[in-house]
């Protein structure tokens, strides 16, 4: 896992990319289909290892999954999911462990959820608090409940009224999955609007769920019920498209398009940020979905608040954009960034410094003074620390700059196994 890959600088970039299926929608399509009665199909599912882990777990819980060509057939377990004695392997995937905790909380008995070294450093208290209130028993290591996680489920949980303290679609979704099998309705309130993938897909599967936007967030109300089988068609992942959008904008000679992506407002905040930085990045309708095009631009510094990019997945790559911009970019309220596959707060600062930028922090804010253009980046080496997004952010910096070495580059497979091939095809 620790092998180093040297990424070359590329002189000219052009072409169209199809990024993997949206990771969030892929996990949920498997989970909802597993809970449904009958046969669901999934097309366009992410080929990343995170989603493969979710597939392995639904199969372990008694669900039949098979592939025919590019379509996945999922036959919901007749009579409901059943627990197993062996640990459920979540690998590197926070979405798998957190959402699955909500799913297994509804299955009688004890379930063990395990993962890799990176997952073992991620706090699970955020899901344990509401799941315990619903009646499940949740145990992890230490006060913050690091995995391995033990969840003892009950087939009759109580619905709750829960305000999610952190901006987290995973926490909201864990509660909603558990709420499907509760005895009474569940309400989840969020003060930052996070992606509505769970809500939208529950509704597609016939579940009674309503959303009400407030000035400062959103209230989601769910009536318990079993999802219906559905034919899922998964769009491309906008958070993966973000890497190519930034690459196109900061590279000296580039025209790049990413086709067929989802463009939900909670997912495309990075496009607005890049536009504010002067990037020639445009989202346009592409059949049922959207295409994102990006070309060489002169970037200027800006101020980015975490609320603009809820879940902060795009912050590592926006910090590369900041490195190429003129002026000081401020990233505000970035505490959540520390709790991802790696500490991306520290990782974004080290990547910026290794490229030759001045970068510093103040509480939960950090600052990057850009070099004005990516050609001025230094050649660098970065340890991606089992974090796919740090691999891709570093690879983009190397490609647009003067090359670089990424240690642990194979971690990119957790979300985007063909990333380096796709990147190479733009040359």
Torsion of CA 42, 45, 51, 52, to 10 degrees: 80
Least distance in angstroms from the C-beta of 49 to ligand S3P: 13
Segment 339-368, which members bind ligand S3P (CB under 6 A)? none
CA angle 311, 164, 274 (to 5 degrees): 20
Question: Measured in Å, how far apart are the chain's first and last C-alpha atoms?
Answer: 27
Q: Does the footprint of ligand S3P cover residue 170 (CB under 6 A)?
A: yes
CB of 168 or CB of 329, closer to ligand S3P: 168
CA atoms lying within 13 Å on the CB side of residue 215:
0
Q: How far is residue 330's CA from residue 302's CA, in Å, rounded to a whole number?
A: 7
Q: Which of 116, 237, 313, 422 is catalytic?
A: 313
**Smallest separation (angstroms) from ligand S3P to the CB of 267:** 10
- Among candidate residues 194, 275, 250, 266, the one with its CA nearest the CA of residue 371: 250
Active site residue 231: no
Q: Contact between 169 and ligand S3P (CB under 6 A)?
A: yes
User: Rule CB under 6 A: is residue 24 a binding residue for ligand S3P?
Assistant: yes
Least separation in angstroms between residue 280's CB and ligand S3P is 27
- Beta pairing partners, 149: 113
Segment interacting with ligand S3P, rule: CB under 6 A, options 77-85, 114-122, 131-139, 170-178? 170-178
Nearer to ligand S3P, 315 or 355 (CB): 315
Q: C-alpha 298: how far from its chain's center?
A: 28
Q: Which helix (H) or strand (E) holds 147?
A: strand 146-153
Q: Does 91 bind ligand S3P (CB under 6 A)?
A: no
The residue among 48 and 135 lying less far from ligand S3P, judged by its C-beta, is: 48
- Considering the rule CB under 6 A, would residue 173 count as an interface residue with ligand S3P? yes
Q: Does 311 bind ligand S3P (CB under 6 A)?
A: yes
- Please classify residue 353 by burial: count the beta carbons closer than 10 Å to its beta carbon, then call 0-12 exposed, 13-18 middle and 19+ buried: middle
- Interface positions, 149-168, toward ligand S3P (CB under 6 A): 168
Report residue 49 CA to chain centroid gap: 13
CA-based nearest residue to 60, from 106, 17, 111, 7? 111
Site for ligand S3P in 379-418 (CB under 6 A): none
Name which of 10 and 169 has its Cβ closer to ligand S3P: 169
Rounded least distance, CB 401 to ligand S3P, Å: 26
Q: Does 196 contact ligand S3P by CB under 6 A?
A: no
Q: What is the 3-state secondary structure (H, E, C) of 338-373?
A: HHCCCCHHHHHHHHHHHCCCEEEEECCEEEEECCCC
Residue 194 as a binder of ligand S3P (CB under 6 A): the answer is yes
Give the residue numbers marked as catalytic. 313
Contacting residues toward ligand S3P, per CB under 6 A: 24, 95, 168-171, 173, 194, 311, 313, 336
């Amino acid at each position: 896992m620790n092998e180093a890959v040297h990424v070359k600088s590329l002189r000219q970039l052009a072409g169209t990319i199809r990024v993997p299926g949206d990771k969030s929608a892929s996990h949920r399509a498997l989970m909802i289909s597993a809970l449904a009665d009958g046969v669901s199909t999934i097309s366009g599912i992410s080929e990343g290892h995170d989603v493969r882990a979710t597939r392995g777990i639904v199969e372990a819980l008694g669900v039949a999954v098979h592939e025919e060509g590019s379509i996945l057939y999922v036959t919901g377990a007749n009579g409901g999911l059943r627990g197993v004695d062996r640990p459920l392997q979540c690998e590197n995937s926070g979405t798998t462990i957190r959402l699955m905790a909500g799913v297994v909380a509804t299955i009688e008995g004890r379930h063990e959820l395990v993962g890799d070294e990176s997952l073992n450093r991620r706090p699970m208290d955020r899901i344990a608090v509401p799941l315990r209130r619903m009646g499940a028993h949740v145990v992890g290591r230490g006060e913050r409940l690091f995995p391995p996680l033990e969840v003892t489920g009950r087939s009759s949980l109580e619905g709750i009224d829960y305000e999610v303290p952190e901006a987290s679609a995973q926490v909201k979704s864990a509660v909603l999955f558990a709420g499907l099998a509760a005895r009474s309705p569940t309400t989840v309130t969020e003060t930052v609007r996070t992606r509505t993938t769970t809500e939208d897909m529950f509704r597609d599967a016939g579940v009674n769920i309503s959303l009400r936007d407030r000035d400062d967030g959103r209230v989601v109300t769910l009536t318990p019920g079993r999802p219906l089988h559905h034919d899922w068609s998964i769009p491309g992942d906008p958070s993966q498209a973000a890497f190519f959008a930034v690459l196109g904008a900061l590279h000296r000679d580039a025209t790049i398009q990413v086709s067929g992506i989802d463009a939900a407002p909670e997912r495309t905040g990075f496009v607005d940020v890049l536009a504010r930085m002067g990037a020639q990045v445009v989202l346009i309708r592409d059949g049922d979905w959207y295409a994102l095009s990006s070309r060489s631009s002169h970037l200027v510094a800006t101020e980015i608040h975490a609320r603009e990019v809820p879940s902060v997945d795009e912050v590592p790559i926006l910090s590369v954009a900041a490195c190429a911009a003129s002026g000081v970019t401020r990233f505000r309220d970035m505490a959540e960034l520390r709790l991802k596959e790696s500490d991306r707060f520290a990782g974004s600062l080290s990547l910026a410094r290794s490229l030759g930028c001045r970068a510093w922090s103040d509480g939960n804010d950090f600052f990057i003074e850009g070099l004005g253009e990516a050609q001025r980046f230094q050649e660098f080496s970065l340890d991606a620390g089992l974090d796919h997004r740090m691999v891709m952010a570093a690879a983009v910096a190397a490609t647009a700059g003067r090359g670089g070495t990424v240690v642990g580059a194979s971690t990119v497979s957790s979300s985007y196994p063909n990333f380096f091939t796709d990147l190479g095809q733009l040359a």
